[in-house]
């Protein structure tokens, strides 16, 4: 079962994403800010990171910068889901970028595509 860490500060949206991905068969954890996400990533890296860019304490871009400088996390696949434009990423590379609002089908399709078509 593929493991996904969802990093989203909006509680209702985070819970909805978690429910959708669990229903699709994935093992899902949630972090509400960038620092909480960093602690979870260091402890046990998931198979995929689903990341909002606008986060408290450590924003999504800052989290990506930390990850890309960390050996174990450097190659971790990332799907960004954000109200911000793709330009907000600067030169950061991610596997997929989804603009909010995103459909359930679009979210699951993007996750499965990045994970090689795998279901949870």
What is the C-alpha separation between 42 and 73, in angstroms, rounded? Answer: 8
Which CATH number describes the domain made up of 3-114?
Answer: 3.40.50.2300
What is the C-alpha separation between 77 and 115, in angstroms, rounded? Answer: 8
Residue 77 pLDDT class (50, 70, 90 cuts) = very high
Condensed to tens digits (0 to 9), the pLDDT of residues 9-48 reads: 999 999 999 999 999 999 999 999 999 999 999 989 999 9
What is the C-alpha separation between 25 and 76, in angstroms, rounded? Answer: 20
Mode of pairing for the β-strands spanning 27-31 and 48-51:
unpaired
The ranges assigned to domains in the chain are 3-114
Which residues are CB-contacts of 101 (< 8 A; sequence separation ≥ 6)?
none
């Amino acid at each position: 079962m593929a493991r996904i860490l969802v990093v989203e500060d909006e509680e209702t949206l985070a819970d909805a994403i978690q429910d959708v991905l669990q229903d699709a068969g994935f093992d899902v954890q949630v972090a509400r800010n960038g620092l909480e996400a960093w602690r979870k990533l260091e402890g046990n890296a998931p198979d995929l990171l689903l990341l909002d860019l606008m986060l408290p304490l450590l924003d999504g871009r800052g989290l990506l910068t930390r990850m890309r400088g960390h050996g174990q996390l450097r190659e971790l696949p990332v799907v960004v889901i954000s109200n911000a434009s793709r330009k907000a990423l600067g030169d950061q590379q991610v596997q997929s970028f989804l603009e909010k609002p995103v459909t359930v089908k679009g979210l699951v399709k993007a996750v499965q595509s990045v994970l090689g078509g795998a279901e949870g």
